[in-house]
Amino acid sequence: MSAPRFSDAFRAELHELFAWRRDVRAFRPDPLPQGALERLLATACLAPSVGLSQPWRFVLVDDPARRAAVRANFERANGEALAAEPGERQGLYARLKLAGLDDAPCHVAVFADPSTEQGHGLGRRTMPEALDYSAVLAIHTLWLAARAEGIGVGWVSILDPAPLAATLEVPATWHFVGYLCIGFARADHEVPTLETAGWECRRPPETFLIRR
Amino acid sequence: MSAPRFSDAFRAELHELFAWRRDVRAFRPDPLPQGALERLLATACLAPSVGLSQPWRFVLVDDPARRAAVRANFERANGEALAAEPGERQGLYARLKLAGLDDAPCHVAVFADPSTEQGHGLGRRTMPEALDYSAVLAIHTLWLAARAEGIGVGWVSILDPAPLAATLEVPATWHFVGYLCIGFARADHEVPTLETAGWECRRPPETFLIRR
């Protein structure tokens, strides 16, 4: 198979995909088409990984009792975050409705397995967190592939990792990377919810560039 | 502006992009077109970030003395990794020529700034590493946008972070995430170099799925 050459039209659409991706919080409850999630996860496995270690572990959470425990975990962690926020931001923070946990038809917890033999340790010596980064790359691959199908992904990071691992009965040595809510978005937005809500706004790219 | 709807043709090309992305090690020395790197970095800034914190910091490394110091850093860290590898893999490890540092026309060191006020701390409480993950998402966005233009990216993680920060005169508090070699690839491959070289092979997606 010969290498693909991408067209200007493809690049323009790819830019649209990046611009309209969004971290989705408001989902329609309709299920995804049969097999869609498995297909997206297969695409995620094409992501780069340090030493080709593929350290990502995807836990598809369907059991209602486990989902309830995850929700309680989120409420606890979110409550602590609220308590730690200075006064004037608390209300806004609460109104942002970070979870999406209640409506999204699919829940996927993503972990990295630091004990994997795959990859033979390559590239992890000076930077063991490269394993976690590989799982992040898989999440992002899934995220973009999903959005291209009109499927939204929301990344929940406000969870306490240790009880989460217990709830999901995964090895305590696995490192929690992110909990994904996946489903059809209620609406599409080009501007991030946090920006619309007045929480924060994006800065111009030059802000982040340094020349040496 | 109304939300884009992506076509089957776009999705098929996007899948090709994921499949042919590659971690590039062998670069042609030709420079990138004027402005291409800045454009790719601007696209990278569309990546998701925790609390819209945009914690990524891109250091464009052009100074020959600094590049030489980075190279020496890599050789030292790589040498230590070699010494730590069991016998039979050492030769292969050395032959993999991990760096690409010598040929790539563009070098970009990527850090995350954990002290940034942007994002007001949202989502970082239970998982402070979400800031690093945001920088990883920016790198991946750049990587895909680059590949869509026929530009290759290689991620070097075998570097000692502390001396790297000193070499680049960035705050010691910044967290090193990855060092990118960017340029036109000598060749395109669908199969990862590590697989071709017999280091490791990718496993089927079901390997990484668990149902709970």
Taking only the tens place, the pLDDT of each residue in A97-154 is 556 899 999 999 999 999 998 888 777 777 889 999 999 999 999 999 999 999 999 9
The answer to whether residue B105 neighbours chain A at the CB level (below 8 Å) is no
User: Residue A26: is its pLDDT beyond 60?
Assistant: yes
What pLDDT score does A82 carry?
A: 72
**Amino acid B144: pLDDT:** 98
Looking at residue B105, the DSSP 8-state letter turns out to be S
Instruction: Find the mean pLDDT for residues A157-186.
Output: 95
Q: Do B133 and A129 touch (CB under 8 A)?
A: no
Share of chain B above pLDDT 90, in %: 66
> What's the gap between Cα B15 and its chain centre?
19
Q: Is B62 on the interface with A (CB under 8 A)?
A: yes
Q: Other C-beta atoms within 10 Å of A109: how many?
A: 26
Q: How confident is the model at residue B96 (pLDDT cuts 50, 70, 90)?
A: low
Cα of A155 to nearest chain B Cα, Å: 9
CB A25 within 8 A of CB A97: yes
Treating both helix axes as pointing N-terminal to C-terminal, what angle do B8-20 and A130-148 enclose, rounded to 10 degrees? 160
- A200: closest CA of chain B, how far (Å): 6
Strand B209-211 and strand A151-156: the pairing is unpaired
B150 touches chain A (CB under 8 A): yes
Quick check: A11 and B210 CB within 8 A? no
Cβ–Cβ below 8 Å for B145 and A203: no
pLDDT at B93: 58
- pLDDT at position A87 is 59
pLDDT at A67: 96
Q: What type of residue sits at position A64?
A: P
Among candidates B4, B119, B190 on the partner chain, residue whose Cβ is nearest the Cβ of A16: B4
Arithmetic mean of pLDDT over chain B: 90
Q: Which residue of A has its CA nearest to B176?
A: A127
Structure tokens at A202: 């994006």
Q: Do B124 and B155 touch, CB atoms closer than 8 A?
A: no
How far is CA A139 from each of CA A38, A102, A153, B108, B121, rounded to the nearest angstrom?
Answer: 13, 21, 9, 23, 22
Whether B75 has a pLDDT exceeding 90, the answer reads no
B148 pLDDT tier (thresholds 50, 70, 90): very high
Cα separation, A205 vs A203, whole angstroms: 6
Q: Picking from A75-84, B1-10, B169-178, which range would have the lowest pLDDT averaged per residue?
A: A75-84
Give me the pLDDT at residue A117, please: 87
Per DSSP, the residues of B16-64 read: HHHHH------B--PPPPTTHHHHHHHHHTTS--GGG---EEEEE---H
Q: Helices then strands (H, E): number in chain A?
A: 7, 5
Is A3 a residue whose pLDDT tops 90? no
CATH T-level fold of B23-198: NADH Oxidase (3.40.109)
A61/B212 touch (CB, cutoff 8 Å), yes or no: yes
- Tell me the sheet residues that pair with A210: B59
How much is the average pLDDT of B47-68?
Answer: 95
Residue with the bigger pLDDT between B92 and B36: it is: B36
* Phi–psi pair at B20, nearest 5 degrees: -105, 5
Question: What pLDDT does B124 receive?
Answer: 75
> Could you tell me if A145 lies within 8 Å of chain B, comparing CB atoms?
yes
Indicate the residue of B21, B147, B208 with minimum beta-carbon distance to A58. B208
Q: Is B133 on the interface with A (CB under 8 A)?
A: yes
DSSP state of A3: P
> What percentage of chain A reaches a pLDDT higher than 90?
66
| Interface contact flag, A45 B132, Cβ < 8 Å | no
Backbone phi, psi, residue B126, to 5°: -80, -15
Q: Do A48 and B155 touch (CB under 8 A)?
A: yes
Confidence tier at A182 by pLDDT (50, 70, 90) = very high
Using CB atoms within 10 Å of the CB of residue A87, give its burial: 0 to 12 exposed, 13 to 18 middle, 19+ buried.
exposed
What pTM does this model have?
A: 0.94
Cα A152 to Cα A60: distance, rounded to the nearest angstrom: 16
Phi, psi of A132 (to 5 degrees): -65, -40
> Is there a contact between B60 and A209 if contact means CB atoms under 8 Å apart?
yes
Q: Which of B21, B147, B14 is nearest to A21 (CA)?
A: B14
- Residue A93: the pLDDT is 58
| pLDDT classification of A43: cutoffs 50, 70, 90 | very high
pLDDT at residue A77, rounded to an integer: 85
Q: Say if residue B1's pLDDT is above 60.
A: yes
- Say how far apart CA A111 and CA A109 lie, in whole Å: 7
Instruction: Give the distance from residue B70's alpha carbon to the nearest chain A alpha carbon, in angstroms.
Output: 12
The two structure tokens encoding residue B187: 């060749």
- pLDDT given at position A86: 62
Of A166-175, B135-144, B195-204, minimum mean pLDDT range: B195-204
Rounded Cα distance, B66 and B2, in Å: 46
Q: Of all residues in chain A, what percent carry a pLDDT higher than 70? A: 92
Mean pLDDT over B112-131 rounds to 85
Question: pLDDT at position B86, please?
Answer: 63
Query: Taking 90 as the threshold, does the pLDDT of residue A83 lie above it?
Result: no
**Of A74-88, A97-111, B144-158, which gets the smallest average pLDDT?**
A74-88
Q: Which residue has the higher pLDDT, A95 or A135?
A: A135
Average pLDDT of the segment spanning A20-40: 93
The mean pLDDT value for B18-41 works out to 94
Q: Does A97 touch chain B (CB under 8 A)?
A: no
